């Protein structure tokens, strides 16, 4: 099974900060990498798919990059509604795996 | 607008069977473009993929749950079901159903989610 790791596991940031979260796969997955935002009491929300494509309706301050084993989610200017947990997820050969999550909270 | 709604018992006793249903409205589960998945969020932990069923009935499961989990679909009722056998406290979680869409880029992603249902395993 493909394992996913994320770093950092948590971070504290201020409104307006640029935030970068890294995700690494245990083997090459091409561009089969998605990013989700999770908030308590709400369904997870798809932000980025295929490593760098912005899901419809998602703010352009979110962006993704990477391929193979190393991927990045960037929030260009953190907004109050962005304080949440972010998960990467791979979908290679129909078997899905989520990363452990990165919690972004207020500094 | 596509809507997914999970339902089932909120409390299951240890060693018994967890059974959940996801009713899909605003779209059909039989469409060739989509698969349907179950994901869970244990308290204090991260998201865990449970399994997926394709439009044709092919199933894929998390290897850590293999042997205990079954996902099925009922196209006439437009619903997807999850059965998890021999549950323990470790199966306590919010359970979500979601649509898995591949699209032109061929990268399956979970683009629509239900609101989730909390299942507690306790005697």
Cβ neighbors of A34 (< 8 A, separation 6 or more) are A46, A48, A49, A50, A88, A89, A90, A91, B107, B109, B110
Q: Which pLDDT tens digit goes with each residue over A93-105?
A: 889 999 999 999 9
Q: Is B23 helix (H, G, I), strand (E, B) or coil?
A: strand
Average predicted confidence (pLDDT) for chain A: 96
In the 8-state DSSP scheme, what is residue B86? S
Q: Which of A45, A68, A91 to mutate to test the interface with B (most CBs of B within 10 A)?
A: A91
- Write down the pLDDT at residue A103: 98
Task: From chain B, pick out residues whose CB is under 8 angstroms from the CB of A36.
Answer: 47, 110
Task: From chain B, pick out residues whose CB is under 8 angstroms from the CB of A96.
Answer: 37, 49, 52, 62, 108
User: Most distant CA pair in chain B: distance in Å?
Assistant: 47
Q: Which pLDDT tens digit goes with each residue over B17-73?
A: 999 999 999 999 988 889 999 999 999 999 999 999 998 899 999 999 988 999 999
Distance (Å, whole) CA A23 – CA A4? 7
Neighbours of A98 (CB within 10 A): 23
Which residue shows structure tokens 């749950």?
Answer: B65
- Write down the pLDDT at residue B94: 98
Query: In angstroms, what separates the C-alpha of A10 from chain B's closest C-alpha?
Result: 13
Distance (Å, whole) CA A106 – CA B41? 23
Inter-chain CB proximity B108 and A1 less than 8 Å? no
Inter-chain CB proximity B113 and A43 less than 8 Å? yes
Inter-chain CB proximity B110 and A36 less than 8 Å? yes
With 90 as the cut, is the pLDDT of residue A24 above it?
yes
Q: Which pLDDT tens digit goes with each residue over A41-87?
A: 999 999 999 999 999 999 999 999 999 999 999 999 999 999 999 99
- Write down the pLDDT at residue A22: 98
Q: For A9-18, what is the mean pLDDT? A: 97
Assess whether the previous peptide bond of A8 is cis (omega < 30° from 0).
Answer: yes
Query: Minimal CA–CA distance to B108: which of B69, B55, B43, B67?
Result: B55
> Cα torsion for A54, A58, A62, A65, to the nearest 10°?
-10
Sign for the CA dihedral angle at A56, A47, B23, B29 comes to positive
- Write down the pLDDT at residue B66: 82
Of the partner residues B48, B108, B114, the one whose CB lies closest to the CB of residue A91: B108
Q: Which pLDDT tens digit goes with each residue over B66-114?
A: 889 999 999 999 999 999 999 999 999 999 999 999 877 678 999 999 9
Query: In angstroms, what separates the C-alpha of B16 from chain A's closest C-alpha?
Result: 26
- Say whether residue A14 is in contact with chain B using an 8 A CB cutoff: no
Q: For A16-21, what is the mean pLDDT? A: 98
- Write down the pLDDT at residue B33: 86
- Write down the pLDDT at residue A93: 84
Please say whether the beta carbons of B22 and B80 come within 8 A.
Answer: yes
């Amino acid at each position: 099974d493909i394992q996913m790791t994320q770093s950092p596991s948590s971070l504290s940031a201020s409104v307006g900060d640029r935030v970068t979260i890294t995700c690494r796969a245990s083997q090459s997955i091409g561009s089969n990498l998605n990013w989700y935002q999770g908030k308590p009491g709400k369904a997870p929300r798809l932000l980025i798919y295929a490593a760098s494509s912005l899901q419809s309706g998602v703010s352009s301050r979110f962006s993704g990059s990477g391929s193979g084993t190393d991927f990045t989610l960037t929030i260009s200017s953190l907004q109050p509604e962005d304080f949440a947990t972010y998960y990467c997820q791979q979908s290679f050969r129909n078997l899905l795996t989520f990363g452990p999550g990165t919690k972004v909270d207020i500094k | 607008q596509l809507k997914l709604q999970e339902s089932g018992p909120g409390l299951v006793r240890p060693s018994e069977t967890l059974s959940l249903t996801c009713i899909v409205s605003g779209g059909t589960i039989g469409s060739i473009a989509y698969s349907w998945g179950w994901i869970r969020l244990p308290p204090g932990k991260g998201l865990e993929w449970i399994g997926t069923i394709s439009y044709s009935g092919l199933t894929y499961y998390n290897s850590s749950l293999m042997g205990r989990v079954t996902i099925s679909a009922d196209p006439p009722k437009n619903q997807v079901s999850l059965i998890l056998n021999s549950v323990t406290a470790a199966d306590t979680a919010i359970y979500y159903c979601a649509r898995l869409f591949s699209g032109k880029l061929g990268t399956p992603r979970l683009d629509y989610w239900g609101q989730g249902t909390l299942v507690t395993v306790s005697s």
